[in-house]
Amino acid sequence: MWQYTPPLRDMRFVIDEVLQAPAAWPAMQGFEELDADMAAQVLEEAGRFASEILAPTNGPGDLEGCSWQDGEVTTPAGYKAAYRAFVDGGWPALACDPECGGQGLPELLNAALFEMLVGANHAWTMYPGLLHGAYEVLHQHASGWLRDTYLPKVTSGEWLSTMCLTESHAGSDLGLLRTRAVPNANGSYSITGNKIFISGGDQDMTPNIVHLVLARLPDAPPGTKGISLFLCPKWLPDGTRNAARCDSIEKKMGLKGSATSVMSFDGATGWLLGEPHRGLQAMFLMMNAARLHVAMQGMGHLEAATQNALAYAAERVQSRAPTRPDGAAKGPADPIAYHPSMRRQLWTLQARTEAARVLCYWTAQALDEQARHPDAVVRAAAGDRATLLTPVLKAFLTDLGHYGADRALGIWGGHGYIHEYGIEQLVRDSRIALIYEGTNEIQAIDLVVRKILPDGGVKFGALLDWASAQCEGGAQAQAARAGLQALREAVAALQADAAADAELPFRAADDLLFAVGEALLACAWERADAVAAQRLAAGQGDAVFYQRKRQLAQYQRDWLSGELIQRLVAVRAARAELPFIPTV
Amino acid sequence: MWQYTPPLRDMRFVIDEVLQAPAAWPAMQGFEELDADMAAQVLEEAGRFASEILAPTNGPGDLEGCSWQDGEVTTPAGYKAAYRAFVDGGWPALACDPECGGQGLPELLNAALFEMLVGANHAWTMYPGLLHGAYEVLHQHASGWLRDTYLPKVTSGEWLSTMCLTESHAGSDLGLLRTRAVPNANGSYSITGNKIFISGGDQDMTPNIVHLVLARLPDAPPGTKGISLFLCPKWLPDGTRNAARCDSIEKKMGLKGSATSVMSFDGATGWLLGEPHRGLQAMFLMMNAARLHVAMQGMGHLEAATQNALAYAAERVQSRAPTRPDGAAKGPADPIAYHPSMRRQLWTLQARTEAARVLCYWTAQALDEQARHPDAVVRAAAGDRATLLTPVLKAFLTDLGHYGADRALGIWGGHGYIHEYGIEQLVRDSRIALIYEGTNEIQAIDLVVRKILPDGGVKFGALLDWASAQCEGGAQAQAARAGLQALREAVAALQADAAADAELPFRAADDLLFAVGEALLACAWERADAVAAQRLAAGQGDAVFYQRKRQLAQYQRDWLSGELIQRLVAVRAARAELPFIPTV
């Protein structure tokens, strides 16, 4: 039945061979001692945690769900024990500063860790999912006793954290939020207001919860420039219960093991983090990390769907296929993996999964380079790349993950609709990833309107140059390079036309973002194919493994290159009139 | 919050103005007395039932679900009462033969009825959803006391019916089924075997249940040519309980109010319907009706998603839009319906919903013509059209319905993920429609391999001629006609290439089916646009209504015509190699 097998060999192919990350580590500040073997060991341990401890809680946790009584949430059976093992293993602190108790390992490995956690149990992973962002915020903005009290506990994961942003009338538009913070004489603040959609707003896994809350000071200007950030714990340092309360939890489509809370702050005590009215900037530190984290969720969904679909299709026998592999016996019925329509779906899932992993890890590597590369020029370039890639990956990967899972469900036929086969849960769990941490439509506006166009496409051009350098292979890579060129021209045309039609970039943004994703996916396959070809030519390693990579690269060229074309057609179509809806 | 408003005006636009069905009725056998007013009255009554009685049970029924105890199923609160009202209203017999107690109304009106039922509550509609097919089977194959006992009860809906086909190892491939029927001395049969995925296998809404069961006789040849059809009631005519038992019900992704049953027949008494070993032929009578019925489910999903998304987007205020309609005040935030990305999604939903309705009703009208048109040539042509359109509509409409609903969920943002807003339930409920009654992949093989290619594309060509005649309008319709021509050429090329590559039609089938759907959708808009243009020119009716139709037709041309191109590109791409998966 449903299983999660850590894709360690594929991960190492990307990390060691495609990205050649271990070769770069010795020169990077703080990674001097790290090598491929150590990284492999970390991933193997993480994989064991994900598949042996976490995955068994996934299906049962969905059926049981969270329960709420008198403000307290009970998580599904096994969640608390799994979290204890997670903290004891030191996993929350994997990529944190050793000075704060972290292990100082690369973001790249942290990304791989979270891919596996989500693949094994997305709902559970919601609880530690925000820890790293909270760590970043406290690491940068907390000082004195506040830092001493909260940073070590959040770094180690001993206390979990929340992000309290959304209010019922203020979701994508945080400028509308109303929660108020009034200063007290002792330097603390009294926070009053209601928040919704707070993941882990209450839970029974940690003895305290560190809420990070956006609220307005009395003298705050309206809109987004009047929002401040506060730390507001469930239990105060003196041991009294703070007036931060979980009023109820939502009945959701999926992630039923994750307590999505309605929170009320009723004069709750909190402390300012960072400067007054600059809470959004502080929160965005957390948000960017969170967006890449959500992209890794998509990655986890895609991998989990793909590996389970392959296993099911190999095993399920139904009807005769029109053709069979050489040597396969002709029985009354064949494995459904022989049927052309299923083969197409299975190759598509695999091709997208493996190239998506290259994109994700490229981006995580860029974060490491930005923070630790000895060359300032490389640091800046990596930072620019990560900035552009973050919205692309958040939207593109979550879309691939959810619709990949949804299409994959059909491979199970009617069984796909039944809970015990696992795939329907994945479809439900994955849907939210397209929405939270900034909807995918907002990512597209962020990419196109805020990041590509304002500098005349210069930084975006540099990203395309970098991508082009990844597929410098032979003639086979020509189409991928042409795709990048077509993208360059599409952006230039958009820029030119936007002069007379300011709304155009908004109309084109969604398709342009997906076009970028598709073009990069093609580059990822060219890069992986070049590596595989090299290994095969040199007679190194497992030939079957590398031949399959080459087949997948060819599948991408033959069957999936139309996706980019379609997106570019849609970007051009966006010049058309788009009337307002008459009845509004 | 979530509502279902019967789209009566849009339905009548299609029935009365686009199809001009009422003008054709007087010449059709059995419809001589029917007119547009009477049809409108039927639809209005049906809409009242759907929106006032059925829709309120939809959300609560999903939360409550069905329960099972000791072989007996309890349906959610309100289901039984709604069903009583449905039977009392005579709705099950709407399109049945007046000689059997039916009302003899067109399939066209029956299709509209079921669109509304599914839009209001799909799970509930599963129960009566198979009645019409069962009526067809009994009407054609039951005789004597069997007919007298069961046909009137099934026609009136007093007893509900099931289709017992699937076994755990035999889903798409019914040839593998193992349930056995042994003749008894008195002319009955003893049926033994296990069935899964039986909708309404047990329920508490009717005092008896008429199971239609596929099983093998002792002398049956293997495969699909050895399957017979039996009628096997829950309660026998002598009042004893038959050995047909519901062993459990499935935990499913959606349709939680519908009892999907695991059934065991343990020497249950049944009677043969039709000839021995020809059960599949008899069942296909039911299956074709069922496939169109499932297409109407997609239609219902699409309409429900669209109307609720429009309402929510008009009401929900969030962020400033880059542009506003003339005269709209500039506040701190705008209705999300002003935002370009939302406008695109809303127009897309509307454009697809309304043209899909034209396709559906065209097909239902073809069934009526096939049965009742005075001209034998017209009858035959209509039958051929319905035969080709059935797999197209089953696959295309269910895909539009589910993915339309899934994309629409994003319009609600985070609220879309919460049960009380309704859209997440629609996404879950709609997913199964792509699978049951023949998966969409099987529909594609049916269309391309069994229906288009065997006669050299002759009947398919006639369908395209007919579609082309629907958009004989002016220059604007040129692109839609060109789409039909491109489709014709794609099929000719496929036929030519298939000579040397017998697997090619299987690789291309999915995309070709969707290409047909897209091309017909474009024709539907041209037809509707021509009608709207005529009304506006003549100054007839509500100008705003017809102008909106014209805007939607233009939106289809500007923004959605790329869908057909993409599908045709994919059909061509299917010439590429598609290897077997190495690990299988």
Secondary structure string (H, E, C) spanning B176-193: HCCCEEEECCCCCEEEEE
For position A71, which CATH number holds? 1.10.540.10
Closest Cα in chain A, distance from residue B419 (Å): 5
A447 touches chain B (CB under 8 A): no
Question: Do A191 and A119 share a structural domain?
Answer: no
* Average pLDDT of span A503-530: 98
Domain finish residue from B80, B106, B138 = B138
Closest CA to B510 of A423, A345, A405: A345
Is residue A361 included in any domain, yes or no? no
Residue B266: how many other CB atoms lie within 10 Å: 13
A506 touches chain B (CB under 8 A): yes
Among A341, A562, A577, the residue with its CB nearest the CB of B573 is: A562
Question: Do B180 and B51 share a structural domain?
Answer: no
Question: Do A81 and A168 share a structural domain?
Answer: no
Is residue B254 included in any domain, yes or no? yes
More confident residue, B450 or A132: B450
B32 touches chain A (CB under 8 A): no
Is residue A251 included in any domain, yes or no? yes
Closest CA to B132 of B319, B290, B242: B290
Q: What angle do CA B201, B202, B204 make, to 5 degrees?
A: 145
Instruction: Decide the pairing of beta strands A260-273 and A228-233.
Output: antiparallel
Among B63, B414, B502, the residue with its CB nearest the CB of A197 is: B414
Question: Do A454 and A540 share a structural domain?
Answer: yes
Question: Do B62 and B170 share a structural domain?
Answer: no
Segment 180-209 of chain B within 8 Å of chain A by CB:
196-197
Closest-CA residue in chain B for A175? B319
Is residue B296 included in any domain, yes or no? no
Contact B318 A176 (CB under 8 A): yes
* Chain A interface mutation, best of B178, B199, B253, B548, highest count of A Cβ atoms under 10 Å: B253
pLDDT band at A191, cuts 50/70/90? very high
Is residue A516 included in any domain, yes or no? yes
Contact A310 B254 (CB under 8 A): no
Contact A435 B420 (CB under 8 A): no
Rg (CA), chain A: 24
Q: In this structure, what is the dihedral angle of CA atoms A447, A450, A455, A456, given to the nearest 10 degrees? A: 60
pLDDT band at A288, cuts 50/70/90? confident
CB contact set of B283 (below 8 Å; sequence gap of 6+): B137, B163, B165, B212, B214, B229
Is residue B385 included in any domain, yes or no? no
Q: Counting one residue from A and one from B, how many pairs have CB atoms under 8 Å apart?
A: 258
pLDDT of residue B583: 58
Question: Do A445 and A565 share a structural domain?
Answer: yes
For residue range A274-284, what is the model confidence (pLDDT) as tens digits?
Answer: 999 999 988 87
pLDDT of residue B584: 43
Q: Which two tokens stand for residue B94?
A: 């709407």
Residue reference for tokens 């402390």: A271
Closest CA to A385 of A290, A314, A308, A451: A451
B501 touches chain A (CB under 8 A): no
Instruction: State the DSSP code for A179.
Output: -
Contact B506 A579 (CB under 8 A): no
Question: Do A167 and A128 share a structural domain?
Answer: no
For position A186, which CATH number holds? 2.40.110.20
Question: Do A34 and A126 share a structural domain?
Answer: yes
B458 φ/ψ sector (left φ>0, alpha ψ -120 to 50, else beta):
alpha
- Alpha carbons B340 and A578: distance in angstroms, whole number: 8
Is residue A533 included in any domain, yes or no? yes
pLDDT of residue A582: 74
* Average pLDDT of span A291-313: 97
Long-range contact set of residues A370-378: C-beta below 8 Å, sequence gap at least 24: A371/A29, A371/A107, A372/A28, A372/A29, A372/A30, A372/A31, A373/A27, A373/A28, A373/A29, A374/A27, A374/A28, A374/A29
Segment 289-328 of chain B within 8 Å of chain A by CB:
310, 313-314, 317-319, 322-325
Instruction: State the DSSP code for B75.
Output: P
A543 touches chain B (CB under 8 A): no
A173 touches chain B (CB under 8 A): yes
CB of A254 closer than 8 Å to CB of A233: no
| DSSP H helical ranges for A316-375 | 340-372
Closest Cα in chain B, distance from residue A406 (Å): 9
| pLDDT < 70 positions in chain B | 583-584
Q: Which two tokens stand for residue A455?
A: 């500098």
Question: Do B570 and B540 share a structural domain?
Answer: yes
Question: Do B184 and B119 share a structural domain?
Answer: no
| DSSP H helical ranges for A20-106 | 21-24, 36-48, 58-64, 79-88
Residue ranges making up the domain that contains A174: 160-278
CB contact set of A220 (below 8 Å; sequence gap of 6+): A226, A227, A228, A276, A277
Question: Do B517 and B444 share a structural domain?
Answer: yes
* Chain A interface mutation, best of B225, B256, B319, highest count of A Cβ atoms under 10 Å: B319
Residue A504: how many other CB atoms lie within 10 Å: 21
State whether residue A317 is helix, strand or coil.
strand
More confident residue, B327 or A35: A35
Among this protein's residues, is B437 annotated catalytic? yes
- Count the domains in chain B: 3
For residue B170, which residues of chain A lie inside 8 Å, CB to CB?
A: 318
* Chain B interface mutation, best of A199, A437, A581, A583, highest count of B Cβ atoms under 10 Å: A581
CB contact set of A56 (below 8 Å; sequence gap of 6+): A78
- Alpha carbons A277 and A273: distance in angstroms, whole number: 10
Question: Do B108 and B177 share a structural domain?
Answer: no
Contact B431 A409 (CB under 8 A): yes
Residue reference for tokens 């003749």: B183
- Alpha carbons A489 and B293: distance in angstroms, whole number: 47
Closest CA to A244 of A216, A205, A208, A211: A211
In terms of Cβ atoms closer than 10 Å to its own Cβ (0-12, 13-18, 19+), residue B431 is buried
Closest Cα in chain B, distance from residue A123 (Å): 14
Q: Which two tokens stand for residue A446?
A: 């962020």
Is residue B399 included in any domain, yes or no? no
B227 φ, ψ to 5°? Answer: -115, 135
Instruction: State the DSSP code for B337.
Output: G
Closest-CA residue in chain B for A406? B431
Domain finish residue from A278, A296, A325 = A278
Which of B437, B518, B526, B563 is the catalytic position? Answer: B437
pLDDT of residue A583: 58
For residue range A533-578, what is the model confidence (pLDDT) as tens digits?
Answer: 999 999 989 999 999 999 999 999 999 999 999 999 999 999 999 9
Domain finish residue from B253, B283, B313 = B283
pLDDT band at A584, cuts 50/70/90? very low
Segment 564-583 of chain A within 8 Å of chain B by CB:
565-566, 569-570, 573, 576-583
> What sign has the CA pseudo-torsion B54, B56, B59, B65?
negative
* Chain B interface mutation, best of A411, A412, A518, A578, highest count of B Cβ atoms under 10 Å: A578
For residue A340, which residues of chain B lie inside 8 Å, CB to CB?
A: 503, 506-507, 509, 578
